Amino acid sequence: MKKKASRPARTAPKRAALPVPRSAELRHYGKLLGHIKGRIQTAQTRAMLAVNAELVRLYWDIGGLIDRRQHEEGWGAGVIPRLSHDLHNELPDVKGFSERNLKRMLAFHRAYPCPAEFVPQGVAKSASPEKVPQAAAQLPTTKKVTQAASQLVPADSILWSIPWFHHVVLIEKIKDLPARRWYMEQTLANGWSRNLLTLAVDRRAHERHGKAVTNFEQLLPSPQSDLAQQTLKDPYLFDFLTLAEPFHERELETELVRHLEKFLLELGQGFAFVGRQYLLKVSGEDFHVDLLFYHLRLRAFVAIDLKTGPFKPEYAGKINFYCNVINQQLRHETDHPTIGLILCQTKDEVLAEYALTGIDRPIGVSSYELTRALPQNLRSALPTVEEIEAELSATTPKTPSGRKSRARTPKPPIKKAKKSNRSGYREEP
């Protein structure tokens, strides 16, 4: 028999090469690509925010369900471990419903029973609240539960915009409700991560923001003056430095620049470093600004003058001179007026207010601390240095010559080996 000739293997037809457009036809391609990329990223961000908002509202709702059942049925805290165990059995693939997290949900609902109080002021009057579907409608309900389930919960409350573990940090560390709201607003405005929020809470940022002595209200327009006032702090905490007093201003400046990242975190969002000992030339003379920054939100230069010791009135004239020169030599026509900041170890507020009166440039006066002060209750509980020294002097024994002897640690006895007739060596008891 004759063998059949094998057919050649079929190959996929090659795609024709795409025609290369001429350069004239591609002049708007970059804009198109950037526009589509931006739309995709915006949609991804909105999707993440929507998922976060729905998750936080779910946790608030679950906390409300547990709270109502505890009040109506008289259930104690023992129901939460059982609920966590049963939820894990019923929904093994769903995470986030541990006993600890269920207790956090309960605390979250009790901390914010009325989310309408956290609607942004600009939309508080115009926003229309929406009804949130309540799982309690599927359970045997009483009149009280039905009324609670039909409460109107605003969809634009800032509670839903804050990530869940940010709420956990605030509930565990901050008891004052206005302070919590302040941290929520700062988180949204500055994009704080959980670590940055924890750092701000630990450093009591809400007690220091906007506390500097300034003349902004008299010299800056209303929106700019408010923003500039909230940008400055008093006092600034430089506890990341290792300076021992007494120290010079140049040493303080060098250390701040050496720890620039931590310094910028303490200054706050928006500060961009321009330079240290920034040179300004006027009439053939050289003048140096200790630290020069540009604030991206204020759209203004910020000149910082570092001082050791207390504030003195003549410092205001010097920083006013720097602001005038920077406005003439560096400021762009779209920038706002340069802001001066005097940082001293201590300040008298009355003296600072008198010194800034009549100054024609926006200037602030703040203090700084190199170590964080202990709370008053800890100060009274801990012994002073003198008390510790007195206690050590009383407990240290003295030699006949009057010198303090060092306590010697007794050496353990050396165990000797005794020869045994049968198995070599053995230890003596």
**Euclidean distance between CA atoms 422 and 273, whole angstroms:** 82
- Parallel/antiparallel/unpaired status of strands 213-214 and 236-237: unpaired
Structural domain contains residue 381: no
Q: Quick check: 250 pLDDT over 50?
A: yes
- In this structure, the answer to whether residues 281 and 363 fall within a common structural domain is yes
Contacts of 60 (CB under 8 A, 6+ apart): 105, 108, 109, 112, 115, 159
Structural domain contains residue 296: yes
**Euclidean distance between CA atoms 311 and 343, whole angstroms:** 8
**Euclidean distance between CA atoms 176 and 23, whole angstroms:** 62
Q: What is the pLDDT of residues 371-405, one digit of tens each?
A: 765 455 544 555 655 666 676 766 655 555 555 55
The two structure tokens encoding residue 3? 């063998």
- In this structure, the answer to whether residues 71 and 145 fall within a common structural domain is yes
Among 344, 369, 394, the domain-final residue is: 369
Q: Quick check: 131 pLDDT over 90?
A: no
**Euclidean distance between CA atoms 344 and 177, whole angstroms:** 32
**Residue 138 has what pLDDT?**
39
Structural domain contains residue 184: no
Q: How confident is the model at residue 141 (pLDDT cuts 50, 70, 90)?
A: very low
**Residue 288 has what pLDDT?**
95
Q: What is the H or E stretch that residue 236 is in?
A: strand 236-237
Range of the domain at 266: 208-369
- In this structure, the answer to whether residues 77 and 140 fall within a common structural domain is yes
**Euclidean distance between CA atoms 205 and 192, whole angstroms:** 13
- In this structure, the answer to whether residues 142 and 245 fall within a common structural domain is no
- In this structure, the answer to whether residues 241 and 355 fall within a common structural domain is yes
- Nearest residue to 107 via CA among 70, 137, 152: 70
Least confident of 296-300, 367-371, 410-414: 410-414
81 compared with 402, residue with greater pLDDT:
81
User: Computed over its alpha carbons, how large is the radius of gyration of the chain?
Assistant: 34
Q: Quick check: 203 pLDDT over 60?
A: yes
Structural domain contains residue 388: no
CA dihedral of residues 217, 219, 224, 228 (deg, nearest 10): -70
pLDDT > 70: what percent of the chain? Answer: 72
Arithmetic mean of pLDDT, 232-258? 89
Residue type at 349 in one-letter notation? E
The two structure tokens encoding residue 313? 């009135």
162, HSE (Cβ side, Cα atoms, 13 Å):
29
Q: Quick check: 295 pLDDT over 90?
A: yes
- In this structure, the answer to whether residues 363 and 219 fall within a common structural domain is yes
**Euclidean distance between CA atoms 198 and 169, whole angstroms:** 7
131 compared with 297, residue with greater pLDDT:
297
**Residue 292 has what pLDDT?**
96
Q: How confident is the model at residue 45 (pLDDT cuts 50, 70, 90)?
A: confident
Least confident of 30-44, 56-70, 248-262, 352-366: 30-44
The two structure tokens encoding residue 214? 């300034």
396, HSE (Cβ side, Cα atoms, 13 Å):
13
Arithmetic mean of pLDDT, 261-279? 93
- Parallel/antiparallel/unpaired status of strands 213-214 and 363-369: antiparallel
CATH number assigned to the domain comprising residue 227: 3.40.1350.10
**Residue 177 has what pLDDT?**
92
Among 349, 369, 389, the domain-final residue is: 369
Q: How confident is the model at residue 142 (pLDDT cuts 50, 70, 90)?
A: very low
**Residue 140 has what pLDDT?**
40
- In this structure, the answer to whether residues 364 and 282 fall within a common structural domain is yes
**Residue 402 has what pLDDT?**
54
- In this structure, the answer to whether residues 340 and 242 fall within a common structural domain is yes
Q: Is 189 helix (H, G, I), strand (E, B) or coil?
A: helix
Structural domain contains residue 392: no
- In this structure, the answer to whether residues 312 and 230 fall within a common structural domain is yes
Structural domain contains residue 21: no
> Into how many domains does the chain fold?
2
The two structure tokens encoding residue 75? 């259930």
Structural domain contains residue 352: yes
**Euclidean distance between CA atoms 214 and 340, whole angstroms:** 10
- In this structure, the answer to whether residues 136 and 213 fall within a common structural domain is no
Among 369, 395, 419, the domain-final residue is: 369
Contacts of 174 (CB under 8 A, 6+ apart): 180, 183, 201
266 in Cβ contact with 231 (< 8 Å)? no
Q: How confident is the model at residue 18 (pLDDT cuts 50, 70, 90)?
A: low
CA dihedral of residues 244, 203, 216, 319 (deg, nearest 10): 20
Of the ranges 68-82, 155-169, 324-338, the best mean pLDDT one: 324-338
- In this structure, the answer to whether residues 144 and 218 fall within a common structural domain is no
The per-residue pLDDT of the chain, averaged, comes to 80
- In this structure, the answer to whether residues 269 and 357 fall within a common structural domain is yes
Structural domain contains residue 227: yes
Residue type at 263 in one-letter notation? F
Arithmetic mean of pLDDT, 36-63? 88
